[in-house]
Amino acid sequence: MSQTTKPKKKRKKNNYFTKVHENAIISYALTDDKIIRTELYIELIGPALDEMVDKIVYTYKFNNLPNIDYLKDDCKIWLMTILDKYDPSKKSKAFSYFSVITKNWFIHKVKQNSKKLKRDLQYESITSEVESEQLVEQNRYEIDRETYEFWQYLFKEMDSWENLKLKDNEKKVLEAIKILFNSVDEIEIFNKKAIYLYMREITGLNTKQIVNNLNRLRKKYRNFKSEWERGNI
């Protein structure tokens, strides 16, 4: 059986950049006459370069770039400014010459955009970290301030307890608590036993007496804390 060969697809002919346009660019490069250059550009060169830019953007998927319409206009204007840089004596086809230049121009824009995206991501990351740190600092400040206020009000509350009809041992234990609070930076308290040891030395009471009186004072403390948490203080 004879194999049928598929017909090769014909390469699409470049209808927008023909020999006429090639010669127009050569004529443009070889003359200094502004009027002739203007006529060549308006009638032949400009439309061909515009079409070439659009084709290259589509072919190489540069249309994914942001603001691509503005970039295409910028590229077309830039090509117009470098038309006289083309040197026919170097035997390079004008179409190939400006195609390569156009493609490289957009590749450069892609790299610029990638760097910008990277900078934006870094900026967002740094900004997020700074905001998080500020939030942590703010929360820490709020917690520290609230803790400070709690202890200030507690000390005032404890002072008011002295005006109540406390038993002698209750007064001794309360005074010992205030001394320990005021001397917290000067004494070393490793554990609960150490606290009772200090309180025994200050009050002259035994551990059982201290515990019993602490329980009575603890009720007052719980009432105070409950009122504080409700926002009544």
Confidence of residue 115 (pLDDT cuts 50, 70, 90): confident
Tracing tokens 């609230």 back to the chain, one arrives at: 146
Q: Where are the domains of the chain?
A: 19-116, 162-229
pLDDT per residue as tens digits for the range 138-180: 566 566 667 667 667 777 777 777 777 778 888 888 888 877 7
Residue 130 has pLDDT above 70, yes or no: no
What letter represents residue 105's amino acid? W
Compute the average pLDDT of residues 222-228: 79
Distance separating alpha carbons of residues 182 and 172, to the nearest angstrom: 15
Distance of CA 127 to the CA centre of its chain: 4
- Maximum average pLDDT range among 54-58, 175-179, 194-198, 217-221: 54-58
Distance separating alpha carbons of residues 150 and 229, to the nearest angstrom: 10
Right CATH for 19-116 from 2.60.40, 1.10.1740, 1.10.8, 1.10.357: 1.10.1740
> How much of the chain, in percent, has pLDDT values that exceed 90?
24
pTM over 0.85: no
pLDDT per residue as tens digits for the range 68-80: 899 999 999 889 9
Q: By the 8 A CB rule, do 98 and 84 touch?
A: no
